[in-house]
Structure 1
Amino acid sequence: MASTGGRQFNWFNLLMVICMSFGSMSYGYSASIIATTLAQPTFLKYFDLDTRPDATSLISTMNGLYQVGGFFGVFTVSYFADRWGRRAAIGVSALITVLSGALLAGSVNVAMFIVFRFFSGAGAFMILSAVPIWMNEVTPPRNRGLLVDIHGAALLFGYMVAAWVGFAFFHLQAAAAWRAPLAFQCLPAVCLLCFLPFMPESPRFLLMHDRHEEAAANLRRLHTSEEAEIELQQISAQMQIDRTLPSSYWVMLKKPSYRKRTLLCLGVTCGIQFSGILVINNYGPTLYASLGYGTAQQLVLLGGWLTLAFGMGCASLYVVDRFSRPKLMGFGILGCMVCLIIEAALVAQFVGTKNTTALSAAVAMFYVYVIFYEVCLDGPQFAYLGELFPTHIRAKGMNIGVAGICLMNIIWLQAAPTAFQNIGWKFYLCFIIPGTIAGLGIFLYFPDTNGIPLEEVAAMFGDVDELYSGFGDDVKAETEIVEGKTALAIEHNETAV
């Protein structure tokens, strides 16, 4: 029962994905606005961060606790997503983002600001997890990478807007100039909450809960008529099996095929975070300051960097479905590592000198770096995570992947100010060495899920007993993947990892 060729979605599907991407933008803005906030003289003065001896520690905590909030927050997503629906999980996440953003903007002391950074991180990372779950489940196989990658492009748009809003308010000579950019993070989440009642629920969630008529209607609204009928039969048949399967976090560690998926998931997200992307983003002004640039120049360079990132995120839409997922991500990580090697060499040799050409080259390396990251990594990772897991554990699998992002960033962001202060350029080695290993591992050994219907991915991991038998012939036709090096012998219950 093969899927149709060509375009499988209709324009309503695209419109709904774009509306849902306001949640992605909300995450991007929330995660990035701290970079310009920490460069705002009014913010530093209000909280005495320009004079107090523990300022470096407090700044590290502001960044680190955001990630801690995200780590704990994402594990609630599966509860809402599996019990009340994918839209419910997104709605709760957006509501937390709105409330925490408002209270951050209204903070009256540093303790209050730090506390609501925790809740802001929880809401933002919950959205980061919940939105691609929904996107993966409402998009068809052939176009899934392109449509899910809109999530990546939208969060980059949020990053870019945060940079330029922060730059604009830097020039506002008012004691409360730092508050408005923080409050602005509420806007995309409010827009998402307004759109949410009109957006279709995931057909896979509906069929998992035996709501067949709603699921059929939603599929016909979202996909071309021929593809909708094929998917309805596939998903309906597979859900009859999935509803009987265990779905706890424990079984994801205990069962070998689920454990393999989980390790692949963590390998991708943790491997990509070895690139050091959030350190460069959140401490961008600090890094540019170390190269001798003033505050206004720092904010312009950060804004330019994030604008390029958004452009490359849009370019990724045309790339993501044309290459093997592991090949694309592995190549992206290795490209980032080459940039960081050159960056480390330039910083080691020329920081503190008057060689403006070399210092400009160091800035240029950050710009080349972001091209590799955004074209190959940011959006494609979320398509891959959603494809790895079957419907009954997809929300939990996405939670684990995003929790891996949080965990890595807790380590990097908490350590970064002290590390740059004490060991300087050598801190880049903490990314270069493990990042190179991760990039090679993903490129050479991870299985490819590009273009495979979600209901047929189980066969790649040897779960033929969990796969509806009607898919057998199509699965065999699609399992020669990753340039023949990881051929999947389903009949012998082998896997190519």
Structure 2
Amino acid sequence: MFIAARFFAGIGSWGFLAVCMLLAPPKLRGFFVGMNGVCIALGYALASYMGMAFFFVHSDQQWRGPLGIALVWPFVMLFIICFVPESPRWLLLQGRTDKARDIVMRLHTVPGDVDQEFARSEFYQMQKQCELDRTLNPSWAEMFRRPSYRKRVILACGFAFIGQSTAVLVINNYGPLLYASLGYDTHDQLALACGWITVGVIFNAVGASFMDKVGRRPLMIAGVVGCCICLTIEAAMVAVYAKAATNKAGLSMGVAAFYLFLAVYSIGIDVVGVVWYSEIFPNHIRSKGICLAVATLSLTDLVYLQATTTAFANIGWKFYLVFIVITALGSVWAFFVLPETKGIPLEELAQIFGDTDDIMVYAADIHVDATTHELVVQEHGKEGIRHIATGEKKVVPAEHVETAV
């Protein structure tokens, strides 16, 4: 029954990662999409808190209670989903232009802006890009056949693998056993696990807040390097002090290393990954790209979690060396290959991967004419400045409009 239930829970939980919404202004996309990472961490935290609370229940409710509480949240989500708008880009790919426009104008209207320049410009860019995207091949084979798509897949899956090779779920799932190896009793193990996961909630929020200011790339590189350093400290503390369990300072440092680990992981890998995986793929293959990243993430976790019990029983602290080596090499890989996506409209991210011909129009080339209050678009190398009015195009004499930069 547990295995069957886990199958459906897995579909739901991992599925939500694959449909993270990207309907956010480019300059705030990291914060808004990053809230998904914050809420995921909050879900883990609530599970830990319930585990701690029901520790004091001395009956079969000790395990039935947390499972029963977990049933509440799917019903909450079923209610919330009634108010969640469909993705405008998906609607445009389906040819439902009016519905897409309504959603963009409703969510991105700026109070006091009569022209609504941002919302109108953004929607025009989405619309033109989706016209091209509908003509492109969205097949699985194309994702590996076309070099620029293949590069995206390698980057997304590579970082997903490195992120989970930090041993984050090994520490999360086997936390009580790891704290036990440092000499703590059952109550302290649960309390330390609750404190540890609370760190994740706080620093996911910190990462989401700073991501749009400092960029994705610096946080991702710092996150991998930071995890490697923390794992090295942890391995040293366990190797030297865990067996004797008499040096309080050394054992406390082992716990502190776990906490520091989650802080840097949350800021640089967890919350940034949620955003970055969804940014780098174009509209017509985004769902497939995120699917591959999430599949890599979950399969990596599966391998490590299945091996953890046997590994710690046979080689003890040396199991940490696997994660230290992978994160050390991964940090070098990340430094040389990870691109920056901060503040770039989704329709223009193709330029990072050399697909400039796949970009229909740049946001910088769209503005609202101060006289006519209609969109003016500069299309380079074509017919000059175009006047866009309610979906119609006509060339406007240059003296009647301002040239877009």
Q: CA deviation at 1:185?
A: 2.1
Q: Does 1:438 align with 2:330?
A: yes
| Counterpart for residue 358 of structure 1 | 250
Given candidates 99, 102, 118, the residue that maps to 1:227 is 118
Q: Does 1:128 align with 2:20?
A: no
Aligned equivalents of 1:184 and 1:439: distance in 2?
39
Given candidates 185, 205, 222, the residue that maps to 1:314 is 205
In angstroms, what is the RMSD of aligned CA positions? 1.5
Residues 148 and 158 of structure 1, relative CA distance in 2, 3 Å threshold: same
Q: CA deviation at 1:186?
A: 2.5
Larger radius of gyration: 2
Flag the structure with higher strand content. 2
| Counterpart for residue 179 of structure 2 | 288
Alignment deviations for residues 224-255 of structure 1 (CA, whole Å, 9 cap, x no partner)? 33221111110000011000101111110111
Please give the TM-score of this superposition, normalised by the length of structure 2: 0.86
CA contact (8 A) 1:330 1:441 kept: no
Residues 378 and 411 of structure 1, relative CA distance in 2, 3 Å threshold: same
Please give the TM-score of this superposition, normalised by the length of structure 1: 0.70
Question: Within 5 A, what are the aligned runs for 1:54-65?
Answer: none
CA contact (8 A) 1:153 1:313 kept: yes
Aligned positions, number: 359
Q: Does 1:451 align with 2:350?
A: no
Given candidates 313, 316, 323, the residue that maps to 1:421 is 313
Residues 139 and 472 of structure 1, relative CA distance in 2, 3 Å threshold: closer
Which AA in structure 2 matches 1:296?
Answer: H
| Counterpart for residue 142 of structure 1 | 27
SS for the counterpart of 2:103 is: helix
CA contact (8 A) 2:122 2:363 kept: no
Given candidates 463, 467, 471, the residue that maps to 2:359 is 467
CA contact (8 A) 2:345 2:363 kept: no
Alignment deviations for residues 155-199 of structure 1 (CA, whole Å, 9 cap, x no partner)? 111111111111101100112320121222222221111121222
CA contact (8 A) 1:275 1:435 kept: yes
Alignment deviations for residues 267-287 of structure 1 (CA, whole Å, 9 cap, x no partner)? 111111111100000110110
| Counterpart for residue 6 of structure 2 | 117
| Counterpart for residue 20 of structure 1 | none
SS for the counterpart of 1:237 is: helix
Which stretches in structure 2 are left out of the alignment for 5+ residues? 111-115, 367-405
SS for the counterpart of 1:293 is: coil
SS for the counterpart of 1:448 is: coil
Q: CA deviation at 1:117?
A: 2.3
| Counterpart for residue 219 of structure 2 | 328
Which stretches in structure 1 are left out of the alignment for 5+ residues? 1-111, 476-497
The percent of aligned pairs where both chains have the same amino acid is 42
Q: CA deviation at 1:474?
A: 6.1
Given candidates 256, 268, 274, the residue that maps to 1:376 is 268
Aligned equivalents of 1:199 and 1:471: distance in 2?
28
Q: CA deviation at 1:473?
A: 6.8
Q: CA deviation at 1:443?
A: 2.4
